[in-house]
Amino acid sequence: TQSTGELVTSPNIEESKWLSNLESTKWLQHIQLILQEAVKVASIIENKKSSVVVHCSDGWDRTSQVCSLAMLLLDPYYRTLQGFEVLIEKEWVSMGHQFQARHCHGTQEITNDYSPIFMQWLDCVWQIMQHYPYSFQFNKYLLTFIGQHLYSCLYGTFLYDSERLRRDMEVKTKTQSLWSYVNSFSTEFLNPLYKERLGCILPMISMRTIRLWRENWMAYHPFYRFQDPLFERLMELVHLREKIQSNCDELRARHQTTVKIAVSS
């Protein structure tokens, strides 16, 4: 991830070699492999009605990646905003993923334990959303927001390496949860084109369909400012609809009050 970050944020990379340099980071190949395994697990459960055992060397890196992605594919509940929060809390936070060690929280140096496992997972979720843009209640900006604050440590959700450490450090009482902010401003993270899709989704995973997650990787490029005019217009319409609905509710309440006054008089 360090070489990928350097590649996409440096203004001095030769344009003619940009794609070959991106390929040399092998980031997209890693994303493809993780997605392939998740689709394989989901396919076995869905089509063969068989149980699957998934386990990596420690149980909180690749296991969390593959299992939580498979759950996302199998169960539409996890494709809702609330369900996605539950999925992360259940399969990452409570499972004991080492956020501090894997993302070097509290240090300026890259240690041997550094490995952007959770960022890879968010990237995989983004890739799936490109295949099924109407099947997720939340939008891609939720993923970017989570990724930013995974490293900012502004919220307590991803601090430390285990539930015990978070309990000992009194994280729940001394910090704010990331989900408190998300749920307070949920409109900003909702997909206005969402239509619930029941059952399993199984995207075709190929290097031909794997793309660079621009909103994440290019966010800090000195000359790149990503704009999504279609999404911005959709959000304007969502806010307008809410305002109209609020006005209608107010007029309805006034009308009912007027009717009651007329009847009583």
Residues tagged active-site: 56
Amino acid type, 111: T
Q: Tokens standing for 146? A: 């989570």
3-state secondary structure the chain: CHHHHHHHHCCCCCHHHHHHHHHHHCHHHHHHHHHHHHHHHHHHHHHHCCCCCCCCCCCCCHHHHHHHHHHHHHCHHHHCHHHHHHHHHHHHHCCCCCHHHHHCCCCCCCCCCCCCHHHHHHHHHHHHHHHCCCCCCECHHHHHHHHHHHHHCCCCCCCCCCHHHHHHCCHHHHCCCHHHHHHHCHHHHECCCCCCCCCCCCCCCCCCCCCCCHHHHCCCCCCCCCCCHHHHHHHHHHHHHHHHHHHHHHHHHHHHHHHHHHHHC
Smallest Cα–Cα separation from 163: which of 256, 60, 94, 221?
Answer: 94
Cα angle 127-79-192, degrees, rounded to a multiple of 5: 85
